[in-house]
Chains A and B, each alone.
Chain A
Amino acid sequence: MAEVLVYVDHADGAVRKPTLELLTLARRIGEPVAVALGNGAADTAGVLAEHGAVKVLTHEAAEYADYLVVPKVDALQAAAAQVSPVAVLVPSSAEGKEIAARLALRLGSGILTDAVDLEAGDEGPVATQSVFAAAYTTRSRVSRGTPVITVKPNSAAVEPAPAAGAVEALSVTFSDKARGTQVVSRTPRESTGRPELTEAAIVVSGGRGVNGAENFALIEALADSLGAAVGASRAAVDAGWYPHTNQVGQTGKSVSPQLYIASGISGAIQHRAGMQTSKTIVAVNKDAEAPIFDLVDYGVVGDLFDVVPQLTEEINTRKG
């Protein structure tokens, strides 16, 4: 059967959820062959096998951490040469898209980014994309070369599908460009203990209406009552109330959770671009005319300083 390369996003061997979602989609097209690179690569094999990887190609080298993007492109190119896949799937992170683009160019292939769904088609895989701030849905395919497609988090369910997951060492020769951009130092982000924003099933966001960094405690308390990630509008981020890594929208993260709760957010097009594909949308805003109410399944017109604490308390009570 045809093989599909899946690029594994992991941290020291811990596989991130979007990669497991890619395995679900890859199985619709062929047999997933995973490629795991860098420190802890071999440790990924167990969970990848449980989710359908027939093979796991691994390679560890310091270059993957010490230089930007290109070493990973070299490795994927080597994997593609070895496997001759029918498609290459990469998680749609900022880095994932850069890796995918350079790989596509080297393979002489077209590239599609930010797919939200994928299915097999007569002329190769067909990707669904959500464009123009989710006002349009397109169906596209790659018409030349081996399709290289990046897929957004939360685009498919994680499904157990036990497979062999045989680990094979990938042989990689780095190109002369691999060491072009040096990572001089790296400061890891402090973990908040909350779910990853792009992967979370529930996202609770605050905007300008939250009116101050200290008031974000209200948003965090609501998030914690639901086991949710915390998001923020650009207005809140620009005001310095919440970190940019939590920004939702066109120039922040694009999220697609089961539930999105927006408090004190007006619903500007650039914010909607990052959350409009959420399954259920809820808003709290004191302005009944706020555009966010056009999107909601449930909205409360009111002061968030009254509504949000009451909601949090009620959830905690109901949970017992």
Chain B
Amino acid sequence: MSLRIVVTVKYVPDATGDRHFADDLTVDRDDVDGLLSELDEYAVEQALQISENSDDDVEITVLTVGPEDAKDALRKALSMGADKAIHVEDDDLHGTDAIGTSLVLAKAIEKAGYDLVLCGMASTDGVMGVVPALLAERLGVPQVTLLSEVAVQDGTVTGRRDGDAASEQLQASLPAVVSVTDQSGEARYPSFKGIMAAKKKPVQSWDLSDLDLEADEVGLAGAWTKVEAATERPARSAGTIVKDEGEGGKQLAAFLASQKFI
């Protein structure tokens, strides 16, 4: 048996950099370095572990929708151990919203062929946490999301979802869409060998016409949401900082009382 895993990975501006919006209110990608969204490394890791624990013939494809530089995210995932990569890139994709992104990803996943789609819990820039659910809806397959533990066996995926009120054990048949949290297990670092091997792994590039999509279905113009304004949050006004000379706790209590918290 074979198991085809597609891992969706996003290329994002570094969260520790100074992130801004461009004039058209999309993410300014010029001033900040981009990288593979750290939370998607967990998805790549789980794909690799599923492969290592499986008797099946497992093929791991990493898929990204993003600008030219998004190839860096694919390279990183390949160097961790994925087998091949698909890059959906098209100028008309600029400014695509979540609904549009899920459309492009779903088309590409179907074209690639899949038994299991693995996603991160959320991107580190948009942070919506909705794309996996949207993919399940579009592909018409079970959604098994936000897992902190996942296993695949005999065409069934099982896992643990830790919610606010309860921890749930979930089960569904493949094909399915799974997302994993940062509690699912540390992602491995690419080895030197992995980095060298990644250079020879195939990266396919698809544009909208390869996916039978029209320009007006995606991008800023095709978006079903509109950002009207983005303003930098004013720096918080400088607070009072005291050094504890033995009375720090009492001084803090006095502050809290002055603010009516006590």
Beyond contacts A111-B99, A189-B167: 6 other A-B pairs, Cβ-Cβ < 8 A, are A68-B144, A140-B228, A141-B226, A269-B15, A281-B239, A288-B241
Chain B residues, Cβ within 8 Å of A308? 249
A307 within 8 A of B: yes
Contacts of B181 in A (CB 8 A): 251
Task: Tell me the nearest residue of chain B to A279, going by C-beta.
Answer: B259
Residues in chain B near residue A130, CB distance under 8 A: 233
Known: A181-B172, A183-B170. A143 touches B240 (CB 8 A): no
With A141-B228, A187-B167, A301-B243 in contact, do A315 and B146 touch (Cβ < 8 Å)?
A: no
Cross-chain contact B248 with A302 (CB below 8 angstroms) = yes
Secondary structure at chain B's binding surface: helix, strand, loop or mixed? mixed
Cβ-based interface call for B262 (8 A): yes
Give the residues from 164 to 209 in chain B that come closer than 8 angstroms, CB to CB, to chain A. Answer: 164-173, 176, 181-183
Contact of A298 among B229, B240, B262 (CB under 8 A): B240
Chain A interface category by residue count = 35 or more
**Contacts A101-B130, A181-B171, A299-B241: A313 and B249 contacting too (C-beta < 8 A)?**
yes
Given contacts A98-B130, A111-B130, A180-B141, contact A311 B224 (CB under 8 A): no
State how many angstroms separate the Cβ of A140 from the closest Cβ of chain B: 5
Interface residues of A (CB under 8 A from B): 11, 68-70, 73, 93-95, 97-102, 104-106, 109-114, 126, 130-145, 177, 180-189, 196, 198, 202, 226, 244-245, 250-251, 258-259, 269-270, 273, 280-282, 284, 288, 293-303, 306-315, 318-319
Task: Report Cα–Cα, A313/B253, bound state, in Å.
Answer: 9
A138 touches B229 (CB 8 A): yes
Contacts of A101 in B (CB 8 A): 98, 128, 130, 133-134, 137
What is the size category of the interface that chain B forms with chain A? Answer: 35 or more
Cα of A134 to Cα of B230 in the assembled complex, Å: 11
On whether A250 and B232 interact (CB within 8 A), knowing A298-B240, A318-B262, the answer reads no
B interface with A by C-beta (< 8 Å): 15-16, 19-21, 25, 39, 97-99, 102, 121-122, 124-125, 127-130, 132-134, 136-138, 140-146, 148, 158, 161-173, 176, 181-183, 223-233, 235-236, 239-244, 246-253, 255-257, 259, 261-262
Nearest CB of chain B from residue A141's CB, rounded to whole Å: 6
Q: Which of A93, A181, A296, A314 contacts B249 (CB 8 A)?
A: A314
Contacts of A251 in B (CB 8 A): 39, 121-122, 181-182
Residue numbers in B under 8 Å from A111 (CB-CB): 98-99, 128, 130, 224-225
